[in-house]
Every structure is written in C-alpha cells, then in structure tokens.
Amino acid sequence: MNANPNDAPLVLKLDKITKRFGALTANGDVSLDLRQGEILALLGENGAGKTTLMNILFGHYVADEGTVEVPGTDGSLQQLEPGSPNAALEAGIGMVHQHFTLAENLSALENILLGTEALTSFKSSRAKARQKLESLMERSGLSVDLNARISDLSVGEKQRVEILKALYRDARVLVLDEPTAVLTPQESESLFSTLQKLASEGLGIIFISHKLDEVLSASHRIAVLRGGRKVSDQPTEGCNKRQLAELMVGKTVPESNRDSKEAGAPLFVLQNVSTGQGRDAITNIDLELLSGEILGIAGVSGNGQGTLAKLISGLATPQSGSIVLNGAPLTTASARQMIDAGIARIPEDRHKDGIVGPMTVAENLAIETIRKPENHRFGFLKFGAIAERAREAITSYDIRCQGDKAPARLLSGGNIQKIVLARTLDASPVVVLAAQPSRGLDVGATADVHRRLLEARARGAGVILISEDLDELMRLSDRIAVIHRGVLSEPEKTESVDRGTLGLRMAGQSKEQAA
C-alpha cells in the first residue's frame, strides 16, 4: 500500500451534492474530494446513491443542488458545467460505467477513437492513435487487441477498453463503477495492480465496490454512503471489514456459515452432456448433485457455465447425454417443465432474465406460477390472491419497494434479486440453480442470498452454485468442481481444496499443475 498522498493537489471536489428522484433523495448533501494519485473507494448498500453521485460527476445527471469542481488551467478549482459529459471529459474525468458503454459493432480502436476527433474532419488518423495506445498499453499493462470487434471480447477485455478510453483522453480522474463485479479473481488482481500503477503516475481514482476485501487492500481512503448520505470518509489504514459493513448497513451483518451435515442420496444427474461447438459450449459433462448439499461450480465466465445454466433452466437442450431428476428424465424439458419438476433457477443476469421491468412486483412474483390454479380461475387471474401472496413475500423476504404495485424496474439490484429468490424458493424446490447469485449485491443483500441458499440446503434441496467469487464458493459449497473450456472437473470436498489452486485451475491449469 502506498502512503496516502495527503498533500497532493486536489483533482476533484464534489460540494454538497443533492439529487432527488421524485420523493426519493438519491444523494443528500454529499461532499467528496480526491487528490492527485489517490485511490478512493466508495462503499454503500445497493441503492445508496453511489452510481447516481458518479453520474452527476460525469454530467449524465444534473444535481438539484451542489457543485462539482475541478482544477482549471491555472490550477485553482473551478465549477464544472453541469449536465455535460463533454465538459467532464474536457476536464479530464474518465468514467468506466457499471454497464459498459461500448458499441459492440465497432472495434476496440474505434470505440476508443469515438468522439476524439472533429466530426467535420474527413480524415481519421488511426496510425497515430494506435501508436499512442501501444505505449499506453505498455505503460499500464492493459493489453487488448485493438482490431478486435467488441462483441468478440471477454468482459475483462471490454473493461480494459473502457479504461483505455479514459487514458487515451489523458484523464486526470478515473471513476470505476463496480469494476470487479464481473471479473474473475485473476482479472481483479491485475486490474488493481494496474490501478496502483496509474495512481502512482498521478491519476486520481475513485472506484465503487461491494467487496470489502478488495476495498481494504486496494484503496488509500474509503468513503461510505448510506441512504444517499455520506456517513464516513477515512483513510483505509485503520479500517476493518466488520466496521465498514456496519457503516454501510447501519447495523451488524450476521454472516451465515454452512454447518456440517451429511449429504443425502443422488438427486439430480447430468450424464455425458454435450452441446455444440463455439463459445461457452460444454463437452461430456457428468454431474451428480446430492440432496442436502451445495455443489459449487467455479470457473471464469465464458467457459461453459452459462450453457450449463441454460440447460438446467430448460432454455436449451443438449445435443447428447441425459438430464435426470429423481429418476425422471428432463433432458428435453422446457423452462416450464423444469419449474414444474421442482427446479428453481436464479438467473445470472437478473435485469435481463430475472424480471419483467415494467410489470409490477406482484406480477413478477407470480410469473412462474401464473398457470397454477392458485393464480387463476378458468384463465382469469385471481388478483386478490396474487396481491396477497406478493405482500407476504415482500414482508418475509424484506423486498424494499413502494408496495406490490410498483414497477419492478424501479427496484435496486438487491431487491430485484430478492424478488427472484422469493418466487423461486417459496415453491420449496428440490433443486436450486443459483448462477452468480450475489454479483453486484451489497453485503446485506449477499448475506440474505446466502442465508436463503443454506436454508434450502437444510431443507434437503440440492443447490448448484455457479460463481466466480471464490470466497462465496468456499464458504457455501460442500463440494466444488471447476469448469474450464466446457469441461467440468470431478467435484472435491471443499475442505480438501485451497483458494490458490482453485484460482489457477479456473485459469486452465490441470489439478496436478496447480497443486
């Protein structure tokens, strides 16, 4: 850890920012400053207002009150024109959004060049740009194939393009919104070493994260938002996980841990399952899930776990092999048949596959069982019953929303995940497929998810936990298997694997090599 650059000049100052959305105050009177070469971590629960604050800084939103100040040419702080991304870019602010802002149909180079040349010019000087980027990549250690189409890049590579976009414009401040939410442990590590390097060259960095370990190890200073207000701002030295978690949530967060318990009989079996060629395909996968266990599947995304999840969700059918639940064949089952067979599925991308945004919370809670008699009579919906059950779920799962009639899209990520949990787990499923269930969730929401999965296990359900988060896997799983290039390893007892080898095996080393 570098020393805190206490006396370096300010590169950014947020002064008393307030932003309201209707009745909701997303940011209340938040002030924040950043010095040259400093890495500031911004912590907060889902919906605490972190992204909103950064969007104001970058000009996507206009604050209702307060100002953003950056050093002008003479070095003194000057107010940044509100609501203008262009002004922010000019002022040397670079932003890597939570959801990437890349045009998929363009190459990496084109995305970086976008907007850097006059639109009226008839020439685009790519050779020069390429030169500058080559040297930037060398200095920062961020390497990507500049000619590759974005749609062909992995998540990690896309993120590097995003950072290069900012660096190419000579950013003095770099903001990263949950940069590690979608990265593998290896990718995260290399990202942070890059950030350290960039900071030591004088870049001011703000990053948002829910992962307390990386926040503690990678930042100089930590600011915590709660309910839109800043509740703490202190040097990283002297902080600890428990204290930070309490600051974020406002109370102590109980950590759920797996109790030791004998697993039951084989429940759900995939035998020799393969899909076709291509990205994310799987070959000859054998998997045997026991009742009452959590089987963790570790792997870098894009190695077949997406396809595996699709198969189990009933969204794809294998080319060969069989899927059997308790002796009943489910190889070609549809999503509906999977649900009816008692398989709960928690999708990886909860916004895209989990909820129908404009429909209400109640409707989203009922969607999987809408054809069940409890929800309709002769095809006509039973509104009363649906609303009643929704209200129960809202209380028992602590879904924070403006009632069962609120559109689901207005909910924060953690609460959206709670909707998914409530509707899938309430049906007492025999098998639970949880794909990246805590990605992007804050400590509180993550703890909730974990508790629910452990409850299912305790009930005797089998849980398949697909995750890139090794801590999560180690903590919850009874057994862990590794998926790489579509091949699934033999699961091992969690007690007999260690974090380091697991990471290496995810990266493709054989068990022997890794050990």
Partner 1 sequence: MSDIFDILLSINFWNAALRISTPLIFGVIGALVCERAGVLNLGIEGIFTAGAMAGWMAVWLGAGLWGGVLVAALAGAFFGLIHAILTVPLGLSQHVSGIGVTLFATALSYFTYRTALPDVSSPPRIEAFKAIDVPGLSDLPIVGPILFQQTPMTILALVIVAVTAFVLYRTPLGLAIRAVGDNPSAVESQGLSVYGLRIGAVVVGSSLMALGGAFLTMSAFDAFFFGMVNGRGWICIALTVFASWKPGKALIGALLFGAFDAFQVRLQTEIGTIIPGQIFLMLPYILSIAALVLVARKADYPRALLVPYFRGQR
Partner 2 sequence: MIRFEPREPASLKRLILIPTIAAVTALILASIPIAAAGLSVFEAYWLMATGAFGSLFTFTEMLTRATPLILTGLAAALAFRAKLWNIGAEGQLYAGALAAVAVGSGWIDAPTYVLLPIVVFSGALAGGLVMLGPTLLKTRLGVDEVVTTLLLNFIIILFVQMMLEGPMKDPMGMGWPQSEPMLDAAALPKLLPRMRIHAGLIIALISALGIYILLKRTVWGFEIRAVGENANAARHAGVPVTGTFIKVGLLSGALAGLAGVGEVAGLKGYLTADLSPGFGYSGIVVAMLAGLSPIGVIFAALFIASIFVGADSMSRATGVSNYLADLIVAMSLICVLISGIFLRFKVRFIGRKSVEGAGK
Give dist(CA 435, CA 291) in Å, integer: 18
Under rule CB under 5 A, residue 28 binds Mg ion: no
* Nearer to partner 1 (CB atom), residue 91 or residue 215: 91
Strand arrangement of the beta sheet that strand 93-96 belongs to: 93-96, 173-177, 204-208, 39-44, 221-226, 229-235
Under rule CB under 8 A, residue 334 binds partner 2: yes
The mark string for 41-60 relative to Mg ion (x by CB under 5 A, - otherwise) is ----------x---------
Among 314, 321, 440, 444, binds Mg ion (CB under 5 A): 440
Tell me how many degrees the CA angle 185-187-192 measures, rounded to the nearest 5: 95
Q: In 3D, which of 470, 426, 480, 414 has the Cα closest to residue 452?
A: 426
Q: Which two tokens stand for residue 361?
A: 């919370």
According to CB under 6 A, which residues from 363 to 422 bind ligand ATP?
Answer: 410, 412-413
According to CB under 8 A, which residues from 41 to 80 bind partner 1?
Answer: 55, 58, 60-61
Tell the smallest beta-carbon distance from residue 343 to partner 2 (Å).
10
* Nearer to partner 1 (CB atom), residue 83 or residue 460: 83
Give dist(CA 121, CA 45) in Å, integer: 46
According to CB under 6 A, which residues from 482 to 501 bind ligand ATP?
Answer: none
DSSP calls for 30-85: EEEEEETT-EEEEEE-TTSSHHHHHHHHHTSS--SEEEEEEE-TTSSEEEPPTT-H
Among 101, 217, 402, 428, binds partner 1 (CB under 8 A): 101
Burial 463-484 (b: 16+ CB within 10 A, else e): bbbbbbbbebbbbbbbbbbbbb
Give dist(CA 433, CA 342) in Å, integer: 11
Tell the smallest beta-carbon distance from residue 2 to Mg ion (Å).
27
* Nearer to partner 1 (CB atom), residue 164 or residue 287: 164
According to CB under 6 A, which residues from 34 to 53 bind ligand ATP?
Answer: 44, 46-52
According to CB under 8 A, which residues from 403 to 432 bind partner 1?
Answer: 409-410
Give dist(CA 54, CA 96) in Å, integer: 10
Give dist(CA 294, CA 316) in Å, integer: 23
Residues near ligand ATP, by CB under 6 A:
21, 24, 26, 44, 46-52, 410, 412-413, 442
Residues near partner 2, by CB under 8 A:
21-22, 62-67, 79, 81-83, 313-315, 334-336, 338-339, 345, 347, 352-359, 363, 367-368, 370-371, 375-376, 379-381, 407
Residues near Mg ion, by CB under 5 A:
51, 413, 440
Residues near partner 1, by CB under 8 A:
55, 58, 60-61, 85-86, 88-90, 95, 97, 99, 101-106, 110-111, 113-124, 165, 409-410
